[in-house]
Every structure is written in structure tokens, then in C-alpha cells.
Amino acid sequence: MVAPPGRCPQGDLATIAPMENGRQLDLLEPWAIGGVEIPTRLVLAPMAGVSVQAFRRQGRRFGAGLVCSEMVSVAGIRHRNERTLGYLRVASDEHPLAIQIFGSDPGAMAEAARMVEAAGADIVDINFGCPVKKVTKTGAGASLLDDPGHAARIVEAVAGATALPVSVKMRRGTENGSRSCLEVGPLLVRAGAASLTLHPRSARQMYTGTADHSLTAELVSLVDVPVVASGDITSRARAQAVLATTGAAAVMVGRAAQGNPWALAEIMGGPGEPSREEVVAELLLFMRETVRELGEQRATSFLKKFYGWYLGRGRFPRPFKQELVMLPTIGEVETRLLAAAPGASGVLERLEANLGDVDEVLLDSLPISIYGGG
């Protein structure tokens, strides 16, 4: 295909309908990981310090077919750390839900998988992609891509410990230019992985540069399980281009959805940019749901980063966000937000009426005084 003047080839690719087995792939078409049916081709990424239950439930409302918890330490589960165990609270409207675990010991990972299943998750996800040093120095996260045999033993142990399908999220490798994912991926599938997610940046890159989805296409050609494409999925056009050119089963959205669930709606073909009243109403709902989960003391500091995410993108003046961060209580933040957008109160009432009560599945052994959301 020749690009017309003034347009790059990627711009043309973005207009191509995604194809699967020679047919058009609809983002609204269901697919499956193991025996778990997923209603749309959009996955909300697991993100540390972000993916609390309120974030996941919001993602489902805006079109994500699968939502994921942030990564849960198997060491914390093994030692029955109260905050860590709080990650295993599951609301009925989150399904299908993947709970992501990380660690380096196969036995501990197997034990954690059994806890994840008992908590009511639909999928056990294993993190082989985290690039943060405090994780990789323990032999977990992306560092396991340098030890394919050990990575496969972990997957085998987890798959053998649970009846749930097992998925794995990984990066291309630890070093720039690495192609380790193409060696490791097929080994993990043979060990029992029912799906792979690839973020084709190196651990060294962190989130700089661009995701090389030519690697995603190569991985798809090497395995016979669904591959989810992660990295730089920021619009409907980009999602369609990546699906069309890689053969991936679905796309995963992460940072683009932080404080911006409308990015998910836009990818699914809905309206993208909200009104100021809609922005404030969603932020207020998110705040209230987070307080319910974390308690007001923890939520007060946790929510501060979200103010900038929601109110940025030219929606509100920068000083307004800074003003909210300085307010000492969530009640004062609510008052200030409603003063800035009075019409948000009616939108919020409708949102809360449609949301309904939370019906959670709790393990009898889980302490519930603290919810470990972030």
C-alpha cells in the first residue's frame, strides 16, 4: 500500500479493519482465554498504584471486556500480609477479572494461584514484565525473561495448582533490542499458559520510546493461544492498526486510561471527549468508591495523582488541580469540584443509581479492615 502525500503508512494502516483468520475482527466481538469468555477485545491493564477496584469497575462500564488487578506479591500472600490479601477482594460486576501475581518461587506462586481462585477471579495472570528494580532484583518480573527455564517452571506450577486459565504478561526482554519474548513465549505456552500479553518494550526502556509491535506479530505466529497486544494503544485508530498488522486477539490499554475512561469508550467506537460535568461526576464517583475501598485516610493521599489525570488534557486550568491537591480532606475536594461544575451533581446521581450496590466475594480467611488497592 502506497501512502498518499502528507500521510505516513501507519496512518493508512490505522484505517484497515482488523482481521482474524481472513475475516474482519470487531472490537465488540467476544473471544476467550481458556474457558473464560471475554465480551470485547479491549483489556484494561494491571497498573501498580492505579488498578483499584473502582478503576476496574469503571473500566468495565466504559467497554473493557477484561479487567486486571494490579500485581500482587506472592510473598505478601504467603505471609498473610493484611494489605496484600486485600487485593483479593472481588466485586460481582468486575467479571471477567484477572488477578495478577508476581514472584520467583514456583511453590509460592502455586499457593498464590490457589488463593486467587478461591477469591473468585476468572484468570490467574503472571507478571514477567515489571521493569522496576525492587521487583527484578528479587528474580521476579521482567528478570525472568533472562531465565526461560525457570519462567516455564513457574507457569507449570501455577497451571498445575488451579483450574483457572493462566495468562502471562511480559516485555520483549530486559535489554534494548532483545528478542527474548520470542524464545520464552512458546516455552510458557507449552508449560500451560492459555494466553500471552506482550508489551514490546525492554525492561531497560521502561516507558520511553515506542512499542515495537512487529515483535507482537512474530509472537502471534509462534504460538497457538491468544496474544494480547500492549503498549501505545491510545486511540481507536491505533488499536485497529495494531490488531490488523499483528493478528493479536485483543489490545490492552494502560496509561491512556488513567483518569480518562473516555479513551476506552473512544476505542470501542463511542464518544471520546466528555463535558466538564461528566469529568467531575466520574471523578467524584471514583473518589467515593475509592474511599469505600481504602478508607478515607488512605484514599486522601492515593487520590491526589488522579486529580491531575482527570482534570488535565485542557479540561480545567492547571492551578485548579494544584488547589485540589492542597485541600486537606476529600469532603473539601468534593465541595470545590461541585462549585466548579454544578451540573455534575445530576450526572453523579444518575451514575450512582446505575452503579448499584457492591456485591463482593470475600474469602473467610481474608481480613477486611484494610483493602490493599494501591
Q: Is 8 a catalytic residue?
A: no
**Residue the block writes with cell 481458556:** 34
The secondary structure of the chain, three-state, reads CCCCCCCCHHHHHCCCCCEECCEECCCCCCEEECCEEECCCEEECCCCCCCCHHHHHHHHHCCCCEEECCCEEHHHHHCCCHHHHHHHCEEHHHCCEEEEEECCCHHHHHHHHHHHHHHCCCEEEEEECCCCHHHHCCCCHHHHHHCHHHHHHHHHHHHHHCCCCEEEEEEEECCCCCCHHHHHHHHHHHHCCCEEEEEEEECCCCCCCCCCHHHHHHHHHHCCCCEEEECCCCCHHHHHHHHHHHCCCEEEECHHHCCCCHHHHHHCCCCCCCCHHHHHHHHHHHHHHHHHHHCHHHHHHHCHHHHHHHHCCCCCCHHHHHHHHHCCCHHHHHHHHHHHCCCHHHHHHHHHHHHCCCCEECCCCCCCCCCCCC
**Residue the block writes with cell 444518575:** 350
Residue 182 has a CB neighbour count (10 Å cut-off) of 17
Which of 8, 68, 130, 181 is labelled catalytic? 130
Grid cell digits, residue 114: 490457589
**CA dist list (Å): 111 to 114, 159, 353:** 5, 11, 39
Q: Give catalytic residues, as residue numbers.
A: 130
